[in-house]
Every structure is written in C-alpha cells, then in structure tokens.
Amino acid sequence: MSKPVLTEAEVKQLEVGSPCYVLKGTLITALARELAASRQNEIIECGNIDELGGLKSTNRRIALGADHGGYALKEQLKVFLKDAGYQVLDCGAHNQEAVDYPDLALKVAVAVKTGQALLGIMVDGVGTGSCMVANKVPGIRAAHCYDRLTARNSREHNDANVLTLGGQVLQLDQATLIVSTWLNTSFAGGRHQRRVSKIDQTEQQFLKDTVAAVAGDCSCAL
C-alpha cells in the first residue's frame, strides 16, 4: 500500500499560520516542507485516521454565540462561516428571547479554552460586555473589533482567540469583512510574542495572588 504524500499544492490550500495535519509516515516533498515553513504552517503527524480527522475538524471549528441583541447577526454569520468551509459550534442563544450575555460569552470562551473549537466569536448588542466576560477566562485573549484594522491588529499583534462584535452597530457586510479579516490574519510573532507573553504572565501573577489570598484567609474552627 503506497504512502500518502503531502505536496506543495496541498499546503497552498491551507490558511497562513494554520497547522498542517498528516498521517505518520506521510511523504512530504521538499517544496511542500519549504512552503509550509515560509507560511508558518507547522506540519503535525497524527498516529491514525481518527486522530487526523479529529484534529482537522477542530482546526476548522468556530465557537459562535450571541445574546438576544446579537442573535440575528449570529444566525447570518453562521451561514457565512459554513459557506467558507468552517464548522460551527453554536453556543446559543437559539432565539431572540432575552438572555444574559455573560452566560453566552462564557460558553464561547470555555469552548476555546477546552479545545472544543480553535477560535470563538461572540455577538451581543455592542460587543464590549462580552469581551470583558471572555477575558476573565484564563488563556483567553478576546478582542472587541469594529473594522478591518482592529480585526487585523488583534490577530497579528495580540494573537486574539475570541472576537466580539456588536450586533446592533454592524451591518452584515461590515461584520463578514471583520470576521473574514480576523480569521485570515495570522499572529506575527517576533516582538509581538514578547508582549503577548507579558499578557500571559500578568494573568498568571494575579491567579497566583488570588490563590495565595484565599489560602491565607482560610481557617478551621475547632
């Protein structure tokens, strides 16, 4: 049985910066390896077909959520994402009945945090509140974006993994332009990695301080 082969043409079909999953033992052409390195498409070997399918699926899965103020736009973005070849993990809401945006934003953030989805998109009325909620989850870097510049910057400079949008302030064409830009922009690394690492360090420091404070306050009455 012949071994699978990864060619330059297949690497070209990947988004810049996204992983390239192959079965262990796949023959990788020199041009494919060179192109993958130049486009930051890390080649990752999988032990079997099931593992390969699971990783490929997650790599194209977007956690999508909204409150009642963002529901209509969420439903339109769901169609847009599926047409673009993404899988959508719909975190709710599932109708326009009033709900609390923190509950839905948390679902999106946790889906990304736990690896159920590669990235997350949350839509509420304006987008600010959901951004605040998502950023309370360790490991989440949520960005409230309202144009192509903020979308590109949040990914290229800040390695944002959750996007929040305002369903009451954006038209569909504006929202799809932002989403498309955000999804197709890769983290630049370099000097930006140093700064993102400082974000992570700040988060970890406050987590440690909180644990220490809680431990110091604990006492047992006999």
Verify that 88 and 118 share a domain, yes or no: yes
pTM (2 d.p.):
0.73
Whether 27 maps to a domain, the answer reads yes
Q: What is the pLDDT of residue 210?
A: 63
Whether 217 is in a domain gets the answer no
Do residue 112 and residue 19 come from a single domain? no
Q: Please report the pLDDT score of residue 164 as a whole number.
A: 98
Q: pLDDT at position 74, please? A: 98
Residue where one domain finishes, among candidates 57, 77, 95: 57
218 within some domain: no
**Mean pLDDT, each 10-residue run in order, the chain (222 residues):** 86 73 91 88 82 67 96 97 90 96 97 90 98 96 97 96 98 96 91 94 85 47 34
Same domain, 64 and 38: no
User: Same structural domain for residues 44 and 66?
Assistant: no
Whether residue 123 is found in the same domain as residue 68: yes
Angstrom distances, CA of residue 51 to CA of 3, 32, 44, 88: 17, 22, 11, 20
Boundary (domain end) residue, out of 16, 38, 57: 57
Q: Is residue 12 part of a domain?
A: yes
Say if residue 16 is in the same domain as residue 79.
Answer: no
Of the residues 57, 72, 92, which one is the last residue of a structural domain?
A: 57
C-alpha separations of 6 from 54, 56, 58 in Å:
19, 15, 20
Same domain, yes or no, for 75 and 179?
yes
Residue 16's pLDDT is what? 61
What pLDDT was estimated at residue 131?
98
Residue 192 lies in a domain: no
Options 68, 94, 144, 157, the catalytic residue: 157
Residue 139: name the closest of 42, 208, 204 by CA.
Answer: 204
The pLDDT score that the predictor gives to residue 15 is 61
192 is annotated as an active-site residue: no
Shared domain check, 75 and 53: no
One domain, residues 33 and 122? no
Q: How many CB atoms lie within 10 A of CB 158?
A: 17
215 within domain boundaries: no
CATH code for position 140: 3.40.1400.10
Report the domain count for the chain.
2
| Residue 213 belongs to some domain of the structure | no
Range of the domain at 135: 60-183
Give a yes or no: residue 159 inside a domain: yes
Same domain? 118 vs 163? yes
Q: Are residues 164 and 72 located together in one domain of the fold? A: yes
Burial class (CB in 10 A: 0-12, 13-18, 19+), 43: middle
For residues 161 and 99, state if they share a domain: yes
